Amino acid sequence: MIRVKLRAWTASFRYPTFQSGYQPTLPVPPPSTIQGILSAAKGEPVYLTELPYVGYVFRSEGKGLDLEKIYALGKVETDIMRREFLYNAELYLYLPDEWEEHFRRPRYQLLLGRSSDVATVEEIKEVELEETEAPVGGTVLPLELGVPGVVHALVVEYDYSVTPRKARLVRPFVVLPFPKGKASKLKLPYDEELGVGVYLHRWHE
């Protein structure tokens, strides 16, 4: 498998429920953001349910708060929204080898959330991860694994054959920030460089 490292100055991942006047960010990207990144790299819609596996780990150096001017639809009034963002963000993608060519020359810009959260490919390398008992975090996990954490219903993938796009698969996940201390452990492929286990999602099964 390969590991693709993306880096961005900022990242933001919208909560599934709209928050009027205040837009918090999830601490890690939902699967649909990964779908968007893979689709941008390849230049065509990619469906996670058609991939043999995909894993990801996200981490950032902290969180900030931005003020954003918004316009009401059909009106001339404006308002100010407070929006959270994550800064100095890194996203590690674990993918089958054939994805290397798409990330060597991405077809479209890669985004960690919004159009202003532009990411660059910093590294692509082959990795061999050995399975062991490892701390988990920086990702989302299926509920059935029994790991404690905040639960959200998140879109796994959108159907891009219709306009506007529609959610094709939604699942509940435990959303886990990157561990900075004591963390839950699972027997998973272990990325020694990052010090975390990597959960490989297999939505095709």
**Domain span including residue 34:** 2-201
> Tens of pLDDT along 28-68?
999 999 999 999 999 999 999 999 999 999 999 999 999 98
Question: From CA 135, how far away is CA 32, in angstroms rounded?
Answer: 24
Secondary element (H or E) of residue 4: strand 2-11
Question: Domains in the chain: how many in total?
Answer: 1
Q: What is the CATH number of the domain that holds 180?
A: 3.30.70
pTM of the model: 0.93
- SS3 call for 198: coil
CA–CA gap between residue 9 and residue 111 (Å, rounded): 11
Q: Could you tell me the CA-to-CA distances from 146 to 142, 173, 193 in Å, in that order?
A: 8, 11, 26
